Amino acid sequence: MPLPPYAGSDHQIRLLQGAQELFPALIAEIDGARSDVQFETYIFDVAGDGAEVARALERAARRGVRVHLVVDGAGTGQVAEPWGSRLVQAGAQLQVYSPLGRLGLLLPRRWRRLHRKLCVVDGSVLFCGGINVLGDYEDPNWGRLAAPRLDFAVRVRGTLVAFASTVMERFWLRLLAMHDMRQRRLAQALADWRAVRLLQRAPRRTVGGRGMVAALLLRDNLRFRTRIERSYRRAIAQARKEIIIANAYFIPGGKLRRALVLAARRGVRVRLLVQGRYEYFMQYHAARPVYGALLAAGVEIHEYASSFLHAKVAVIDADGARPWATVGSSNLDPLSLLLAREANVMVRDAGFAQQLRSRLMAAIAQGSGALDPRTYASRPWRERLLDRVAWTVMRTALWLTGKNY
């Protein structure tokens, strides 16, 4: 499989499970920052354990480190007080991506969200994954959880960190330019756009070295519209023995479903770890109609029920000649694959793939139940109706955006 641009074989990558592993590693890097911290997240929740991350950003800003924090207008809105003021007073700079305004999500153009979770410190270390600034036992809608949310991130050193930093800087400058235009500071907005154009000329590079082979996969609405989904499909098409996908909101499009069915039919063992607990109506019920064809092809579907599943990871042929793994923010659903800004790290390394596989197999064995095809086929009419309603609503929403899925 050809590597995407901005890849290299010089990476050191550490797998992190949950905020309990991510936050200490993240805070340690921020506390050691000397020049800048670039931070993007969908949810920035400072009511619980996330306050420790906010304190680290505040400490960094007070000692003169440039701190740029971007949060999503739907996932976060304005950073909750007093933390919004504390960070600004310390010298941090905050921006909100696509504030909802009066009509909120009633406007289809507001469905394009900043869903990626990225942090680059001093241009030398990158954190990427599915974990928001939100404690493992905390949920904005369901309150305190009895068991930790299942999610993953990675800490990366190597070639792709510089690319991630450039991407984040370009995004920051675009947001500044739009803000300056709204404030009618046209000269400053023009300067911001010029800076963006200079960053866009950064050369692509593929670097050799002694380390893990890895690349940063982005999904946006300009240059990287389909890269994450295409990477999944290529890896699935080349699978020889085993595919394990853990995805919180699993509503794959036709091409991705066919790739999984074909893999199962040629003898690849395909296991899906999906959300087993009701969290949101649309994501829970719209996923069910796609299970039938997968089960009929021999795909194993395991529903995670110990807590909420929030992972967006996959591992293919961990023990094979061409191991492949990915950890990131992108769900396999139309919101992530067609509308939201997402970021995944792709890794081709046996040791990393085996470690991720071990974590997923533990979750399958200890926290989930296999979906029986006969049980699925005989589910009550009321569930079938809700599934069909959710599926229809989702398809109608996609039609409104002009997207084909």
Which residues are tagged catalytic? 115, 117, 122, 310, 312, 317
Structure tokens at 11: 């990476």
- Structure-token pair, residue 367: 């926290």
Q: In terms of C-beta distances under 8 Å and separation of at least 24 residues, what long-range contacts does 144-147 make, across chains too?
A: 145/307, 145/308, 146/307, 147/306, 147/307, 147/367
> Do 247 and 332 form a contact (C-beta atoms < 8 A)?
yes
Phi, psi of 96 (to 5 degrees): -110, 125
d(CA 336, CA 28): 30
314: which strand partners? 245, 326
Nearest Cα neighbor of 290 from 335, 253, 264 is: 253
Cα distance between residue 403 and residue 395, in whole Å = 9
CA nearest to 18, candidates 116, 137, 156, 120: 137
324-328/152-157 β-pairing = unpaired
The phi and psi torsions of 70 (rounded to 5 degrees) equal: -120, 130
Q: CA quadruple 125, 130, 133, 134: dihedral positive or negative?
A: negative
Within 10 angstroms of residue 206's Cβ, the number of other Cβ atoms is 14
